[in-house]
């Protein structure tokens, strides 16, 4: 089944990169990270809160929490990252305030994620005689939607020729190779449905999901797609569904 596997019995971790930071990244920050993670879980946000030293904050950090003693240093060092401070490592009231704000951040992030896939970029009843033809059609759709420049299409073909973008479950996710990343104007995803199927590498493809990505904005929706389309029953719903149904499934509203 390629990249797909059953995950229904496990909670899905949200794509939130939260770190509790202190000078050494050891005992106090580990305890505080665990406390914040429990608070988030109590509000329905299932994610990992990790702890680290100030000098070891990963590049993917989205939210940093620290003791107030380190706030100015962290804000200066990471001006583009959302930062919070606490007076005490076990202060429930402070954690609740942080959780409330993270919930707002999460909502805005979800809205941004959904905007990556527009209903106008879901095409039904498509036909192609080859995977190359389908990739070119997808590239033209992404270009017409303002996501890419012309050169990205050749990069999509090159990527599929060097390593197939067929991932199993009748799905392919064509995207450009690294060399054409500068041809991406903004992040976007498009979907083309081929009910009759296309021979693609060693498989048959009926769902083609084209990706143009400037950063990691698309990862949340792709993770959701992998989760939802891990079952062939849901794949069939996408292949036979209308635009609204497909959008709801891929955007995460349908179980």
Active-site amino acid positions: 22, 175
User: Which pairs with CB-CB distance under 8 Å and at least 24 residues apart come from 49-52?
Assistant: 49/18, 49/19, 49/20, 50/18, 50/19, 50/20, 51/19, 51/20, 51/21, 51/22, 51/25, 51/26, 52/19, 52/20, 52/21, 52/25
Helix (H) or strand (E) holding 41: helix 27-42
Buried b (16+ CB within 10 A) or exposed e, 172-198: bbbbbbeebeebbbebbbbbbbbeeeb
Instruction: Write phi, then psi, for 211 (nearest 5 degrees).
Output: -125, 130
N-to-C CA span, the chain: 20
């Amino acid at each position: 089944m390629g990249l797909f596997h059953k995950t229904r019995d496990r909670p899905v971790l949200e794509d939130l990169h939260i770190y509790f930071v202190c000078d050494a990244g050891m005992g106090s920050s580990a305890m505080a990270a665990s406390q914040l993670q429990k608070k988030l879980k109590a509000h329905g946000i299932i994610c990992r809160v990790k702890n680290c030293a100030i000098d070891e904050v990963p590049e993917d950090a989205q939210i940093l929490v620290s003791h107030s003693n380190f706030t100015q240093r962290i804000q200066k060092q990471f001006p583009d990252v959302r930062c919070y401070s606490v007076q005490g490592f076990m202060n429930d009231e402070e954690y609740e305030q942080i959780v409330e704000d993270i919930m707002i951040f999460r909502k805005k992030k979800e809205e941004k994620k959904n905007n990556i896939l527009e209903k106008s970029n879901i095409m039904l009843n498509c036909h192609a005689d080859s995977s190359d033809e389908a990739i070119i059609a997808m590239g033209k759709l992404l270009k017409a939607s303002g996501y890419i420049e012309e050169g990205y299409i050749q990069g999509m073909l090159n990527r599929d020729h060097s390593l197939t973008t067929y991932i199993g479950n009748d799905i392919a996710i064509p995207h450009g190779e690294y060399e054409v990343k500068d041809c991406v104007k903004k992040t976007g995803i498009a979907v083309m449905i081929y009910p009759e199927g296309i021979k693609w590498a060693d498989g048959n493809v009926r769902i083609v999901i084209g990706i143009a990505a400037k950063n990691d904005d698309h990862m949340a929706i792709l993770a959701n797609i992998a989760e939802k389309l891990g079952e062939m029953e849901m794949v069939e719903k996408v292949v036979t569904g209308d635009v609204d149904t497909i959008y709801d499934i891929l955007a995460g509203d349908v179980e």
